[in-house]
Amino acid sequence: MNPVAIVRHSPVEGPGYFSTFLDSHSIPWKLIKVDANEVLPSSASQFSGLAFMGGPMSVNDDLPWIARALSLIQQAVANDIPVLGHCLGGQLISKALGGMVDKNPVKELGWGEVRVAAHPVAREWFGELSKFEPFHWHGEAFSLPDGATCVLSSPYCRNQAFALDIHFGMQCHVEMTEDMVKAWCQTGAEEIASSSGPAVQSTEVMQMNLRSRVSALNQVATHLYAKWISGLA
């Protein structure tokens, strides 16, 4: 089996629980560190799937690797190679497929409930779950690309996730581990302090009941990731 490519855009925004899940299912994966100037491959054919993680940049920034990432996503979709996006990764998928990424009316930093849509597509990815609490860290949001179905929403962000056949893009983070939350609280302390609004939490609140919150999120991610790997060749 060809490995799943995991594209990292920031040292603290690695694959987290996603790599743990892949390891538990004996699925090989390769980490591509864009943040360390590793070059994205020109072809998606060497991978069984593509997963894009989060990052502090915007998909609208003039960065040399963004055009290559968009091309890679377009190739994968055209060749039925499953693509998965977390936050920035979801924005990349949306933009690659014709969607728009713009400033969200409200910045979301911390834990926040999302609702699972009540339709068959959402059930394929989340079972009978009607809501859950993922982690958030974004000031922008994506529109739905043509043919995609919205499967998650929150009071502060209409499109929290979309499905398009075997491809899945998220604005929220389901890959979190306890260590990742703690690291983001440290590296993002300045942003938290300078931000305000109904969906911005303090570092103290973000770390309350951390073990139980992460454990519950891991269970949701397990169901979602299991659906996604079912599309791998």
The amino acid occupying position 72 is L
pLDDT at 19: 98
Q: Please compute Rg for the chain using Cα positions.
A: 16
The domains of the chain are located at: 4-229
Determine contact, residues 169/152, Cβ cutoff 8 Å.
Answer: no
Using one digit for the tens of pLDDT, what is the confidence trace for 3-31? 999 999 999 999 999 999 999 999 999 99
Using one digit for the tens of pLDDT, what is the confidence trace for 72-117? 999 999 999 999 999 999 999 999 999 999 999 999 999 999 999 9
pLDDT at 150: 98
pLDDT at 185: 97
Please state, in angstroms and as integers, the Cα–Cα distance from residue 22 to each residue in 65, 85, 118, 223, 227, following that order: 26, 15, 28, 13, 12
What mean pLDDT do residues 197-203 have? Answer: 97
pLDDT at 231: 97
Using one digit for the tens of pLDDT, what is the confidence trace for 118-176? 999 999 999 999 999 999 999 999 999 999 999 999 999 999 999 999 999 999 999 99
pLDDT at 98: 97
Helix or strand (DSSP H, E) at 210: helix 210-229
User: In this structure, which topology does domain 4-229 adopt according to CATH?
Assistant: Rossmann fold (3.40.50)
pLDDT at 233: 82
The pTM of the whole model exceeds 0.95: yes
